[in-house]
Amino acid sequence: EADIYQTPRYLVIGTGKKITLECSQTMGHDKMYWYQQDPGMELHLIHYSYGVNSTEKGDLSSESTVSRIRTEHFPLTLESARPSHTSQYLCASRAGGGAASTDTQYFGPGTRLTVL
C-alpha cells in the first residue's frame, strides 16, 4: 500500500547518543520534507529534498543532517543528541510533477523523541 512510514514512533535516549530517524515513502514522490514540532507550537521546516542527492536546510536551524540516496528514503540523523532536541519530528512527501497549488503533501505518523 502506498504510504509514508516513520520509525521509530517513540524514542527515549540519553544525551550524547547518535540517532537516526527513518522516513520512507512508497508513493514514488520526488519531494520530501522534515518538520519539527514542539507541543502546542508551530511546525517548522528543518530539511527538504527535491530528489536524489538533493538536500536543503529549512527555515529553522537544526543540528540534524539528512541524506537522500534513494528516492524513497530520507533519514534524519543527530550525531550527538541533547535534551534541546526533544520534540516531535514529522516527515512528509509530495509528488514533483504537478503544480504546487494542486499537489497534496502527505505526512507520516511522526517520531516523538525524548532526550534525557
Q: Which of 8, 12, 26, 41 binds other proteins (CB under 8 A)?
A: 41
Give yes or no for residue 42 binding other proteins (CB under 8 A).
yes
Q: How far apart are CA 26 and CA 5, in angstroms?
A: 9
Q: Which of 53, 61, 84, 104 binds other proteins (CB under 8 A)?
A: 104
Spatial contact of 77 and 19, defined as CB atoms under 8 Å apart? yes
Q: Which of 28, 109, 114, 116 binds other proteins (CB under 8 A)?
A: 109
Give yes or no for residue 59 binding other proteins (CB under 8 A).
yes
Give yes or no for residue 103 binding other proteins (CB under 8 A).
yes
Can you spell out the DSSP letters for 19-43?
EEEEEEESS--SEEEEEEE-TTS-E
Q: How far apart are CA 9 and CA 103, in angstroms?
A: 26
Q: Which of 54, 80, 105, 114 binds other proteins (CB under 8 A)?
A: 105
Q: How far apart are CA 116 and CA 111, in angstroms?
A: 16
Per CB under 8 A, which region of 12-20, 27-35, 67-75, 77-85 contacts other proteins? 27-35
Going by the DSSP 8-state scheme, the letter that residue 78 receives in this structure is E
Which residues would be at the binding site for other proteins (CB under 8 A)?
31, 33, 35, 40-45, 48, 58-59, 90, 94, 100-110
